[in-house]
Structure 1
Amino acid sequence: MTSTFESLTDGIEFGLDGERLCFADTVRITQEGHRTVGAMSSLYRHVDPADEAVLYDTFYDVRDEADEDRMLSGKLAYSLTSIRQAPVGTESAKTHGHVHSFEPDGFPPAEAYEVLSGSGVFFLQDLHAGPASRMVVAVHAEKGDVVVIPGGLYHCSVNAGEGRLVFADLCRRGMSDVYGDVREFGGFAYLRHLDGEYEPNPRYADVAGLKHVTAEEWAGGRIGSLYTTLRDDPAQLAWLWDRDEFVSRFPHLAEYAYPVGLAQP
């Protein structure tokens, strides 16, 4: 197809054409999916489970055909998420949220998100029976920011901007996302409303105070573009599959690499 969009990152050509994420002919995608408002009815208040409006789209294992061999043979997969701006009731549009499985390395691996378009708030928290959360942080990120997701924390992405939120993520191949606890307990510890206010989730028995940080503050510095780093120097990203590397790279986040509460097997 002829490109009618400005590419959102270096090294691979894709971008927004209105509300739709479009890809150049040379881009390969292993799997596409979407989640509807109705499928998220347990996480929002006053939502019709039959509502088929799409809330967000996902594209797993995205790569340019020129990089096919390098990308598919590595430990990490490059994927994309595109979240609509329109709210659900008074709440901002968001992803379901999850925690990571212990496959394939015996512990939950870290993840990295890079905002490519829009503005996002990324909730990271622990989760205990009750439900309760003893640690919750809202990481604020703009275009070009990379959000570090420690392996032991539940995480959810929220569109906090005026248009679509598009972000890339790098995750360990062979890992799976675990959604059950989040669904059972009605979402995360805090809800973000369209006016920018944050409300403790009334379904929780106890929640910690909400801490706000920027992506750079959370990571302790800037992190470069995910696609080109993965393509050209994947060893720089060893902290995403090696927990010792993560602890060495982000000592201030080390405690969150080890799951507690319901994140434990």
Structure 2
Amino acid sequence: MQNTLEFGTKSVKPGIRMLFDMKEVIYDQEWLLSATDLELYYMYRDLSLSRNDALTIKEHGLRYDVTVIPPRMLGCEFVKTAGHYHPMVPGTDITYPEIYEVLSGEAHYIMQKSDNDKIQDTILVKAEQGDKVIIPPGYGHITINVSNKVLKMANWVARDFESVYAPIKEKGGGAYFILDNGIVKNPGYGYIPEIRILDPASIRGLQKNREMYGLVRDIRKLEFLTRPQEYGWLFEEIFV
């Protein structure tokens, strides 16, 4: 597949996630033994359509990315991202949230909340083109492409942190795996609560038929990504 992303007038090359980069989190380890390394998905970071947009995005401490995940089976498991958590907002006990939009294809987002190495909550959101999905504070997340179509998704996130991959890698993957014959729990976690199925986010300013890159023109609506400690009501409204 062509790896270059045409974004406005720019041709952007991706970071590439390889199979062996995430071998620890693959469910079908027997399949992995005979697999060869291959490209799983493509990450296009810090995108903007103009210099003014780039300055606005940076001034507000944000980053706009696109990820492309072609359809594939990893043995009996659907292709997925490696999975990660977010760090704390400095001076708080709240982790950074994130928001995704499915640009084309279909995605399943699995979120998990951990406390003292125990899973407290698990959420599955099934999203299609135009849907928005918020990753709330405190949750790690994994994206799975369960269709036979290329999944293309965008995200807005605070720009000044590094994703935390180790907790999910150390457990051999997320709390749940999505396989060709259903969803199974990861025994590496011990007790795992039953998964809750929620609808994509529905909040003011994030209409399904409007790509969220356009929020660069009203970027204060994304302040909940950099100052989540002031938006507890928003996350409670969506997730509780």
Cα distance in 2, alignment partners of residues 25 and 220 from structure 1:
27
Partner Cα separation in structure 1 for residue 33 and residue 103 of structure 2? 31
Residue 246 of structure 1 contacts residue 254 of structure 1 at CA under 8 Å; is this kept in 2? no
Identity %: 25
Q: Distance in 1 between matches of 2:120 and 2:236?
A: 20
Structure 1: runs of 5+ lacking an equivalent: 1-17, 256-265
- The answer to whether 1:59 aligns with 2:47 is no
Cα shift readout 1:236-261 (whole Å, capped 9, x = no counterpart): 11111112442133333577xxxxxx
Aligned pairs, number: 232
Is residue 200 of structure 2 the alignment partner of residue 215 of structure 1?
yes
Q: Residue 68 of structure 2 corresponds to which residue in structure 1? A: 82
The structural deviation recorded for 1:162 is 1.8
Q: How does 1:46-195 map to 2 (within 5 A)?
A: 46=29, 47-48=32-33, 51-66=36-51, 67-104=53-90, 106=92, 107-128=94-115, 132-195=118-181
Distance across 2 between alignment mates of 1:49 and 1:174: 39
Equivalent of residue 204 in structure 1, options 180, 189, 192: 189
Query: Displacement, 1:110?
Result: 1.1
CA RMSD of aligned residues (A): 2.5
Instruction: Give the equivalent residue in structure 2 for 1:23.
Output: 6
**Alpha-carbon shift at residue 34 of structure 1 (Å):** 1.3
Q: Distance in 1 between matches of 2:115 and 2:172?
A: 13
Offset of residue 204 of structure 1: 2.5
Partner of 1:6: none
Q: Output the CA distance in 2 between the equivalents of 1:88 and 1:118.
A: 19
CA contact (8 A) 1:36 1:51 kept: no
Structure 2 counterpart of 1:41, from 13, 17, 23? 23
Change (3 A) 1:118 1:132: same
The answer as to whether partners of 1:119 and 1:160 remain within 8 angstroms in 2 is yes
Partner of 2:228: 243
Q: 1:32 Cα deviation (Å)? A: 3.2
The verdict on how the C-alpha distance between 1:123 and 1:25 changes in structure 2, with shifts beyond 3 A counting, is: closer
Normalising by structure 1, we get a TM-score of 0.79
Q: CA–CA distance in 2 between the matches of 1:128 and 1:141? A: 27
| AA partner of residue 22 (structure 2) | M
* 1:7 paired residue number: none
Deviations 1:112-135 (A, max 9, x none): 000111111101112356x64231
Q: Which amino acid aligns with 2:220?
A: A
Aligned to 1:262: none
**CA separation of 1:143/1:254 partners in 2, compared to 1, >3 Å: closer, same or farther?**
closer
Q: How does 1:1-12 map to 2 (within 5 A)?
A: none
Partners of 1:128 and 1:48 in 2: CA distance: 33
Contact 1:21–1:82 (8 Å) recurs in 2: no
